[in-house]
Amino acid sequence: MDNNTVIITSLNEACFQIGNQTKRFLKHLVVVTVDQKAYARCLRLHPHCYNLNTDGMDFSEEAGFMTADYLKIVWRKIDFLGKVLDLGYSFVFTDADIMWFRDPFSQFDKDADFQTSCDFFNGNPSDLRNQPNTGFSYVKSNEKTIQLYKFWYKSRMTYPDLHDQDVFNKIKFDPFVQNIGLGIRFLDTAYFGGFCHPSRDLNKACTMHANCCVGLENKVHDLGVMLDDWRKYIKSFVNQTRGEYKGSWTVPQLCRYSSILLARIILLVLFR
């Protein structure tokens, strides 16, 4: 974009078109693939594809949550995003299971360096006690964020059993992050919701994330339902003004049960 910002998402083998004025962002979107089949597929669908190779690794299969391959993929992502910042590019990173419905840039804090969505938002965008979900983040390229990503990637060694998001949850309180003067903001789930903490007002929703959901089939099913909800909302404009629409999301459905299972697993791990 004019401000040197790119939009990045990552895919393996295992949707901007229908949103309100979001199609224009496609020309700024880079799809980062982590296996050759996904890269070949991307080239048939999109002009900006980048294959992030990892020597000796095959990431074409679905990587189960917290498996060894899952951890290798997420840390490869953090390393890669740090290099993007080092090249002078700001970015919006968006997981592939996030739907864009409106321009998110109008909701970003222009003074913040690092902004991230939340699994659970407590109402205060500056409060470090918010529960972040780094699957959607807007990061400006500057010395502070470059240092953050280097420290974040290095911290995988300090917390070898945690994934990137949980490690960020640790280091956001670290004196190193405090001392570099990083401006962190947490995005309101009213605009950047997810299955953990849905954005109930479709008149406000910019993005929705299929988070708190285990299993590719569950995600795909509920993403389809979410898309149907949005289509109904758009169709309602024929008979109603935008401010009068009273409907809401009918998701999560299958993901509701997988999120309960995930919560039980987490509790078992914490209190075993």
Confidence band for 267, pLDDT divided at 50, 70 and 90? very low
Structure tokens at 53: 């190779």
| DSSP 8-state symbol, 240 | S
Give me the residues paired with residue 120 across strands: 131
Give the C-alpha separation, 272 to 260, whole Å: 18
> How high is the pLDDT of residue 26?
92
Closest CA to 250 of 225, 220, 223: 225
For 78-163, where are the E strands, in sequence order?
A: 90-94, 98-100, 114-120, 131-139
> How high is the pLDDT of residue 176?
97
Pick the CATH number of 1-272 from 3.30.43.10, 3.30.390.10, 3.30.310.10, 3.90.550.10: 3.90.550.10
Closest CA to 165 of 131, 140, 139, 212: 131
Query: Burial of 269 by CB count in 10 Å (0-12 exposed, 13-18 middle, 19+ buried)?
Result: exposed
> How high is the pLDDT of residue 70?
72
Lowest mean pLDDT, pick from 121-135, 177-191, 233-247, 253-267:
253-267
| DSSP 8-state symbol, 206 | S
Question: In whole angstroms, what separates CA 208 from the centre of its chain?
Answer: 9
Confidence band for 60, pLDDT divided at 50, 70 and 90? very low
The domains of the chain are located at 1-272
Confidence band for 216, pLDDT divided at 50, 70 and 90? confident
Give the C-alpha separation, 47 to 28, whole Å: 10
Give the C-alpha separation, 40 to 12, whole Å: 11
Biggest CA–CA distance in the chain, Å, is 57
Give the C-alpha separation, 243 to 202, whole Å: 10
Q: Write the CA distances from 70 to 35, 64, 115, 262, integer angstroms.
A: 14, 6, 24, 16
Confidence band for 190, pLDDT divided at 50, 70 and 90? very high
**Higher pLDDT among residues 243 and 124, named by residue:** 124
Condensed to tens digits (0 to 9), the pLDDT of residues 62-114 reads 555 556 667 888 899 999 999 999 999 999 999 999 999 999 999 999 999 99
Contact 76, 32 (CB under 8 A): no
Query: Three-state SS for 73?
Result: helix
Give the C-alpha separation, 102 to 114, whole Å: 20
Average pLDDT, rounded, for the chain: 87
Amino acid letter for position 42: C
Residues across the chain:
272
Give the C-alpha separation, 36 to 47, whole Å: 16
Give the C-alpha separation, 15 to 98, whole Å: 8
Contact 59, 140 (CB under 8 A): no
> How high is the pLDDT of residue 15?
57
> How high is the pLDDT of residue 129?
96
